[in-house]
A and B are shown apart, each in its own frame.
Chain A
Amino acid sequence: MKKHPLLLVAAAFLVFAAALSPALAAELLVYTALEDDQIPVYIKSFKEQHPDIDVKFVRDSTGVVIAKLLAEKDNPQADLVWGTSGIGLIELESVGLLEPYAPKGVDKVLPMFKDSKNPPSWVANNVFETGLCVNELELKDKNLPMPTSYADLIKPEYKGQLVMPNPASSGTGYLTVAGILQLFGEEKGWEYLDALDKNMAMYTHSGSKPCKMAGMGEFPIGISFGYRGVMQKRKGEPVTTVFPKEGSGWDCEANALIRKKDMKPEAKVFLDWAISTPAMQEYAKNYAILSEKDVPGFTVPEGYPADPVAQLVKIDLAWASKIRPGVLAEWEKRYGAKSEPKK
């Protein structure tokens, strides 16, 4: 049987294409809870260094990202997680979803901002902490003084003026509660939360909502996270971010490699880049606390305290993750059922 010359050409082309394909752009699927407008800015230096790696993002709020990763557990889609809550990643680790990996330069990352095992399962980029978003105009309107501490928040004049996220729905809510329990100790901590509850207008399901409500003047004081208030101020809202004197609870935006059948080497390249100096310098524009010391050219962004690390409550994230179910059950028992909005 005579072979068709075209067929031969086609076969040759196929072989050629197959040989060529490894040189084509590799594709990475990254799940992230970073803010949507941060991603294109952050990723620029990665694109410059690695034009051959095509990165795709699925971005959602922390709860959705973690839930999605857990739901996809038996057939993971993502190659890695970038900039997502450390407490959430510990949750993923507990079901064996993370592949330990020590990215280049991990030694520079402070011990409290990475997994304690070696190699670590997760490594943080930056920290976010409890911050009070206070609407100056509304406060003036109501003749209320600017609160500066947790102790201020339970004063009777703030009754009905506070909003905070429900820790059972929101990571921000939980890091605040965990921070308070660490600060005051368990017994005093719950006593404080009882008093705080008396002043609380309502609990929201999203961590950024209290700050947005403060920005809109709905309620003058929203317990939220620092970055949120700082950013709203940048956008022109009359919001001052107050970091409570006693200290702030915190969590970090961290990265991890997902354990799956064929893990791509490019995922490690990405994780190396994620804590490299050019990336850190970008995080530094939004956050006051980076996971590394001595990032070249770092200055604390406007709106944060001068010594932001001193602001953090001493918390071990693994501990915060471990006690979470118990704390939430207690929280629901105390405040979950009495949920009529207070007038």
Chain B
Amino acid sequence: MPEIVLEEREGLLSRLSGALSELMAERWMKGAFIGLIGVYLTVLVALPLYGLLSKSLYDKTGAFIGLANFTRFFSEAALFSSLSHSFFVSMTATAFALPLGFAFAYCLTRTSVPGKKVFRAMAMAPLLAPTLMHGLVLIYLFGKKGLVTKGFFGAAQALFGVSGFDIGLYGATGIIIAEALYAFPPVFLILSVALSMTDARLYEAAEALGASKFRIFRTITLPGVKFGLVSAFFVSFISSFTDFGAPKVVGGSYNVLATDIYKHVIGQQNFSMGAAVSVILLIPTALAFLANHIIQRRQSAGVAAKAVPYSPGINPARDRLAFLFCAFISLLFLVYLGVGLYASLVDVWPYKLQLGFRHYDFNATGGGGYAAYFNSLRMAFYSAVAGCVMAFGAAYVLEKFKEFPRLRQFCSQLSLLPMALPGLVIGLAYIFFFNAPGFSIEAIGLYIPNPLNGLYGTMALLVLSNLIYFHTVSFLTAGTALKQLDNEFESVSESLSAPFTRLLTRVTAPVCLPAILEIGYYFFVRSMTTLSAVIFLYSADLPIAAVAVANMDDAGDTAPAIAMCMLIVVTNLVARLLYGFATSGLQKRTRAWTRR
């Protein structure tokens, strides 16, 4: 029956070509996703930054002057001190944040310390409040009239016979304390994701072979989180290196590169010098890129497809020690927030110490009051949702797809770039880029009207600026989680010719759910508190809480400003609780495999 044979053969052929075209379709679909990420990062990172940084080659009037801004910078006496100050405070702050963050993450992932949920929430405490509150809290604690400096109004003298102690807050000391505090949450975030993904079989094997605890730590634990450690170091160093909030508030006259940018841009409105200093600020970051890239190449997955999740047993001595450590760190953060709360209630610091809620009535002060607060709430919510999708999406596409390697590499590097930029620089770059009615390319005499101009002054642009400003930490967190999932998953999925979307929704996303949720929470918290980028981008119709804080403080209404900070802190805490409740059920279901 030749007809039937023929039919069969045709059927086989069409099935084969169907599979082939499916494969091609999948390739192009992946390509489209990579392209999408590429466009997203190019439009929101590369082009605006190019626009701003290229100004470093022009003078104030827009005439091309080549490298003159840089020669001026390098000939100024203040340069060497700014540069070395920046390095010194960033290295020192990292030297505190990294071990502390690692120890904290270790306690929560590798011991059976009680109260993990509370500690996990506490770790984010330093990020809950806007910069202004950090500065004030530090001053209230360690300033010339601070609680510590003055021995708690003589109470310490009466109780313990010790008078106050002046740490000399203003200057490097203050900056280092503030930067170490800022850096702690992201360091913890990255390392806890890294530490939570491991293969218990390695530990079982090591123990069976009689390896000592130290040796296990040195040869399994540390190498297992090598990538996380490098990322955390990189994030901590760069965030201290580029922050200008803390140096501005408690730095005294200790000049760093970021305050140099502030001087040029806000003090003297000299954008081209500001751009030149920004370029110099980018150099260490470029070096960090390189280091990151080299280590990343050697990284192999910690969680093989056959991995068994690690669950720490009970070890009373170890767990007690872990508890003490976590409780101590959490207590420090609690004192920190408590002093903020106290400051918002005190009538006139430090002379009239009566407490009351009068500062929470924002009718007498400017800044937008509760309207600004609700705008911030909306902005933070949109940023959290969109941020999860974009940061995890970018990390997934760049990490797990194997197509178009050059394009992926380009995107990865763009993903790390926002970290290196102060918010001030992002805000300005966005004005130049999004407010331009069009761009003319003189070389070919072409004029392109700006299709994104309509975004200027809208909520959408505020959200986009947050997405980019906080992209890097989230991208690294997601990347750390994804890297630890064996690529074998992809190979198996491919050999079963299952579409990658199924693997993503059935395996990858559920496994990475804790990381995704942390990212969403991180975006929410940072968007609630951030000032430096949005101060250039908010419009008259859209007052923002953090801007209101700055305005009230400007007008001398310091206590209402802190009261608004406390509202933000409480909101972030509530968000944290909601997120905890809403996800614990979900986590139980999707991460049942991590428990034995």
Residues of A within 8 A of B (CB): 29, 35-40, 56-61, 63-64, 66-68, 70-72, 74-75, 77, 88, 91, 95, 137, 166, 168-170, 201-206, 208, 212, 216-219, 228, 231-232, 235-238, 324-325, 328-329, 332-333, 335-341, 343
B contact residues vs A (CB 8 Å cutoff): 60-61, 76-78, 80-81, 139, 143-145, 168, 170-171, 248, 252-255, 259, 262-263, 265-269, 271, 347-352, 364-367, 428, 431-432, 435-437, 453, 456-457, 535-536, 538-541, 547, 550-552, 554-558
Point out which of B61, B145, B431, B554 has the most chain A C-beta atoms below 10 A from its C-beta.
B554
A57 to B558, CA, bound (A): 22
Q: A36-B367, A238-B351, A337-B78 are in contact. Are A68 and B536 (CB under 8 A)?
A: yes
CA distance A184 to B310 in the complex (A): 74
Query: Is A340 within 8 A of B539, CB to CB?
Result: no
CB distance from B333 to the nearest CB of A (A): 24
CB pair B348–A237 under 8 Å, yes or no, is: yes
How far, in whole Å, are A59 and B539 apart by their CA atoms in the complex? 10
8 closest Cβ pairs, A-B complex: A36-B366, A56-B540, A63-B266, A202-B252, A169-B267, A336-B78, A341-B171, A339-B253
- Could you say which of B143, B265, B435 contacts A75, with CB atoms under 8 Å apart? B435
Establish whether residues B269 and A58, one from each chain, have CB atoms under 8 Å apart when the complex forms.
Answer: no
Q: For A169, list chain B residues within 8 Å (CB).
A: 259, 262-263, 266-267
Complex interface: chain A residues within 8 A of B554 (CB): 35-36, 61, 206, 208
Do A58 and B539 have beta carbons less than 8 Å apart?
Answer: yes
Contact of A36 among B76, B269, B552, B558 (CB under 8 A): B552
Q: In the complex, what distance in Å separates the CA atom of A166 from the CA atom of B80? A: 19
Once A36-B367, A59-B551 are accepted as A-B contacts, the answer to whether A336 and B77 lie under 8 Å apart by CB is yes
A166-B78 contact in complex given A67-B265, A208-B554, C-beta closer than 8 Å: no
Closest residue on chain B to residue A235 by CB atoms: B556
Do B268 and A328 touch (CB < 8 A)?
yes
CB atoms of B350 and A216 under 8 A apart: yes
The answer to whether A337 and B437 touch across the interface, beta carbons within 8 angstroms, is: no
Whether the pair B145, A203 counts as a contact (CB closer than 8 A) is no
B434: nearest chain-A partner, CB-CB: A75
Which residues on the B side are within 8 Å of A328 (C-beta)? Answer: 268
Instruction: Provide the bound-state CA to CA distance between A104 and B402, in Å.
Output: 70
Q: Please measure, in the bound complex, the distance between the C-alpha atom of A325 and the C-alpha atom of B272, giving whole angstroms.
A: 14
Chain A residues, CB < 8 A from B60 = 95
Is B271 within 8 A of A205, CB to CB?
no
| A212 to B269 Cα, complex, angstroms | 25
A166 & B253 in contact (Cβ 8 Å cutoff): yes
- Bound Cα distance A74, B262 (Å): 22
Decide: B435 and A66 in contact? CB cutoff 8 A. Answer: no
Chain B residues with Cβ below 8 Å from A201 are 170, 252
**Can you list 23 A-B contacts (CB < 8 A)?**
A29-B540, A36-B365, A37-B366, A56-B541, A59-B551, A61-B550, A63-B266, A68-B536, A77-B435, A95-B61, A168-B267, A168-B268, A169-B266, A202-B171, A202-B252, A216-B350, A235-B556, A328-B268, A336-B78, A337-B81, A338-B81, A340-B171, A341-B168
Name the CB-closest residue of B to A40: B366
User: What residues of A have a CB within 8 angstroms of the CB of B255 in the complex?
Assistant: 336-337, 339
A306 CB to nearest B CB, Å: 25
Known: A40-B366, A75-B435. 7 other contacts (CB 8 A): A63-B269, A67-B269, A68-B536, A169-B263, A216-B139, A335-B253, A339-B255
Are A35 and B252 in contact, with the CB atoms below 8 A?
Answer: no
Question: A169-B266, A236-B352, A337-B81 given as contacts; is B540 within 8 A of A212 (CB)?
Answer: no
The CA of A56 and the CA of B540, in the complex, are separated in Å by: 6
Question: Do B267 and A166 touch (CB < 8 A)?
Answer: yes
Tell whether, in the assembled complex, residue B76 and residue A332 are in contact, meaning their CB atoms are under 8 Å apart: yes
Minimum Cβ distance to chain A for residue B557 (Å): 7
A91 to B349, CA, bound (A): 38
> With the chains together, A204 CA to B254 CA distance in Å?
10
Would you call B366 and A340 a contact (CB within 8 A)? no
Cα A219 to Cα B253 in complex, Å, equals 14
**CA A231 to CA B556, docked complex, whole Å:** 8
Output the residue of B143, B254, B541, B555 with the most chain A CB within 10 A. Answer: B555
Question: B349 contacts which chain A residues (CB < 8 A)?
Answer: 216
- A168 near B269: Cβ-Cβ < 8 Å: no
Please report the C-alpha to C-alpha distance between residue A201 and residue B144 in the assembled complex, in whole angstroms. Answer: 12
Residues of chain B contacted by A204 (CB below 8 angstroms):
252
Cross-chain contact B366 with A70 (CB below 8 angstroms): no
Give the contacting residue for A35; candidates B352, B536, B555; CB below 8 A. Answer: B555
CB-nearest residue of chain B relative to A338? B81
How far apart are the CA atoms of A40 and B541 in the complex, in Å?
15
Partner among B145, B365, B536 whose Cβ is within 8 Å of the Cβ of A216:
B145
Q: Which residues of A contact B437 (CB under 8 A)?
A: 74-75
* Residue on B nearest A227 in the bound complex, by CB: B556
Bound-state Cα–Cα, A204 to B428, Å: 23
User: With A60-B551, A237-B351, A341-B254 given, is the CB distance from A74 to B556 under 8 Å?
Assistant: no
Roughly how many angstroms separate A204 CA and B139 CA in the complex, as a whole number? 14
Residues on B with beta carbons closer than 8 Å to the beta carbon of A212: 556, 558
Q: Judge whether B351 and A170 touch: CB under 8 Å.
A: no
Q: Is the CB of A68 within 8 A of B78?
A: no
Residue of B271, B365, B556 with highest tally of chain A CB at under 10 A: B556
Check A218–B143 contact: CB distance below 8 A: yes
**How distant is A192 from chain B, measured CB to nearest CB, in Å?**
19
Determine how close the nearest CB of chain A comes to the CB of B423; give it in whole angstroms. Answer: 13
Q: How far is the CA of A232 from the CA of B262 in the complex (A)?
A: 27
| In the complex, residue of chain B having the shortest beta-carbon distance to the beta carbon of A207 | B554
Q: Are A340 and B351 closer than 8 Å at their CB atoms?
A: no
Contact at B81–A70, with CB atoms within 8 Å?
no
CB distance from A230 to the nearest CB of B (A): 11
Chain A residues contacting B266 (CB-CB under 8 Å) are: 61, 63-64, 67, 169
Given contacts A56-B541, A59-B551, contact A339 B254 (CB under 8 A): yes
- Nearest chain A CB to B448's CB is how many angstroms away? 14
Determine the distance from Cα of A64 to Cα of B61 in the docked complex, in whole angstroms. Answer: 19
A144 to chain B, nearest CB (A): 14
Chain A residues with CB below 8 A from B61, complex form: 95
CB contact under 8 A between A333 and B77, given known A67-B428, A70-B271, A343-B168: yes
Complex CA gap A58/B457 in Å reads 11
A57 to B248, CA, bound (A): 26
Among residues of B, the one whose C-beta sits closest to the C-beta of A62 is B266
